[in-house]
Amino acid sequence: VSATLRSERIALDPPLPAALRRDVEQGVYYCSDLIADARVDRAAGAWIELDLLGVSDAELSDLTRVVRDWVERTVASSLAYEDTIAREWGRPEAGFRATPEQVLASADLHSMGEGLVAYGPRLASVFGALRELWDRLAAEVGATPLVLPAVATLEHMQRCDFLRQFPQLLSFVTHFREDFGVIDRYAEACRRGDTESACAPPAQDMSSFRRMLRPAICYHVYPCFEGEQLAGDLRLVHAWGDCFRYESRNTTGLDRLFDFRMYEVVALGSADAVHRWRSGMMERVVERFEALGLPGRLKTSNDPFFVSGSVLKSTFQRAHDLKYELEVPFPNREGHLAVASFNEHQDFFASRFGITTRDGEVASSGCSAFGLDRILAALLVHHGTDVNAWPAPTRQTLGLNT
Ligand code: ATP
Ligand code: ZN
Ligand code: MG
């Protein structure tokens, strides 16, 4: 049976404020798994259009109510002001050398399932060069490396207060219960080639969920400094690796993956020192993007939201300039791609992990986070899929000429 697709337009009255249109378009998927595609009226915010999978009239009226309630809740708990652009550089009008489709069709890019990509030898060496460029940047500012696990316990993430903020992004990890019958039954089904059983082990055979895949790098940094009093004014570390976010139907191309590579530089210190570090870091990073021949802009931003409590948080974030995003022009619906963020957490994490400054005060923290896959995607789209033909300064910056 093929599910029929129907398009329904839900009128929004009052219209959706401009600053919320993108976030609502991307967030609405989490309202129902029957939503296959969503479009918000970007011009006036007067409607949201949903492509729905095999929905009856009764289901449609329920779903319309759920979506309306969610949108209403979102609007009610947000001030929805526009992001401000702090800085812009390069020539966005220079145009693109490749479409995202051409990048995806590259022989060196392998899809391993939805939101999972592998880079073949040629792209892997560019990826490595990019990571080394960031290693040099981290060393320049005095950061030392850490090696961190890709899995986090739920106790830890609860302590970081992450779980209530973005539950829709979480991916839990489980395993079979220690029970010979359960494990043997499963192995037997796999031996028989029973794909249905192999791919859907019964929930009661699995342990409860105590762990998740990390959604970002820096959550594991704070326990490394638990209970410590910092010796200097500022302590800097860096780490990189795979991070995981369930992005629902927004998972597309190279720019929004389920499993993506993040590089973070994390700062601990006095509020002043962390604030100054972040400004300096933004300067250095903009220089790197200029050297890579990538135009862009820095703007104040907020974390996307889903549950209403965190909308207040994003409002607060914008008000206090706690998050800046670096965007590069990109041929997608938004016209750009966020490739990095620069965050100040104030004493949010340090207070939870008992980290204090030289003077014995609760420390502050901040991080700058880079989406390596997105930077690679931006390079490919701006300079073309033939890496050997990239502009000389770009290749030089990446050390690709030697
Ligand atoms: P967006 O608004 O695009 O969802 P974000 O605000 O969630 O981004 P951060 O939480 O600041 O992103 O994460 C740091 C960086 O990690 C981002 O600037 C981006 O480059 C990268 N990133 C985030 N989510 C993804 C993803 N699903 N796929 C690839 N890269 C990602
Ligand atoms: Zn971080
Ligand atoms: Mg996000």
- The pLDDT score that the predictor gives to residue 19 is 86
Spatial distance between the Cα atoms of 132 and 2, rounded to a whole number of angstroms: 48
CA distance 277 to 283: 10
Rounded distance from Cα 277 to ligand 1 centre (Å): 21
Predicted local confidence at residue 310, as pLDDT: 64
What does the alpha-carbon distance between residue 290 and residue 286 come to, in Å, rounded to a whole number? 6
Find where tokens 């992005």 sit: 247
Residue 315 pLDDT: 64
What local confidence, expressed as pLDDT, does residue 208 receive?
A: 94
Task: Name which residue sits closest to atom 26 of ligand 1, judged by CA.
Answer: 256
User: What is residue 95's predicted lDDT score, i.e. its pLDDT?
Assistant: 87
Q: Please state whether beta strands 172-173 and 336-346 pair in parallel, antiparallel, or not at all (unpaired).
A: unpaired
Residue 91's pLDDT is: 81
| Alpha carbon of 161 to ligand 2 centroid (Å) | 14
Q: Could you tell which of 218, 258, 262 is best to mutate to test the pocket of ligand 1, judged by most ligand atoms within 8 Å of the CB? A: 262
pLDDT tens digits, 342-379: 999 999 999 999 999 999 999 999 999 999 999 999 99
Residue 393 in tokens = 């300064």
pLDDT of residue 304: 60
Instruction: Select from 351, 371, 360 the least CA-distant residue to 160.
Output: 351
Q: How far is CA 85 from CA 89, 114, 297, 321, in A?
A: 11, 33, 7, 11
Give the pLDDT score at 307. 63
Q: If you measure from the C-alpha of residue 287 to the centroid of ligand 2, how many angstroms do you get, rounded to a whole number? A: 21
Give yes or no for residue 256 CB within 6 A of ligand 1: yes
Best mutation site among 25, 83, 305, 325 for ligand 1, i.e. most ligand atoms within 8 A of its Cβ? 325
Ligand 1 centre distance from Cα of residue 197 (Å):
34
Q: Is the beta carbon of 264 within 6 A of some atom in ligand 1?
A: no
Q: Is 395 in the pocket of ligand 1 (CB under 6 A)?
A: no
pLDDT of residue 318: 61
Mean pLDDT by 10 residues, the chain (402 residues): 83 92 94 96 97 93 96 80 86 85 95 96 97 98 98 97 92 97 97 95 95 98 98 97 97 93 98 97 98 96 64 64 93 94 95 97 97 98 96 97 68
User: In angstroms, what is the span from residue 272 Cα to ligand 2's centroid?
Assistant: 18
Start-to-end CA distance of the chain, whole Å, equals 57
- At residue 74, the pLDDT reads 87
Q: What is the Å distance from ligand 3's center to 305 Cα? A: 9
Helix/strand number for the chain, H first, E second: 13, 16
φ and ψ at residue 374, rounded to 5 degrees: -70, -35
What is the distance in A from the centroid of ligand 2 to the CA of 221? Answer: 9
Give the Cα separation of 171 and 256 in Å (integer): 16
CA-to-CA distance for 384 and 379, rounded, in angstroms?
7
Instruction: Report whether residue 327 contacts ligand 1, using a CB cutoff of 6 Å.
Output: no
Ligand 1 pocket: which of 314, 374, 376, 379 to mutate (most atoms within 8 A of CB): 374
The pLDDT score that the predictor gives to residue 76 is 83
Task: Give the number of other Cβ atoms within 10 Å of residue 125's Cβ.
Answer: 15
Task: Give CA–CA dist 128/394, Å, rounded.
Answer: 15
3-state secondary structure of 308: helix
Query: What strand order describes the sheet that includes 211-213?
Result: 151-153, 211-213, 172-173
Phi-psi region of 358 (alpha: psi -120 to 50; beta: other; left: phi over 0): alpha
Q: Which atom of ligand 1 is nearest to the CA of 256?
A: 28
Calpha distance 21→19 (Å, rounded): 6
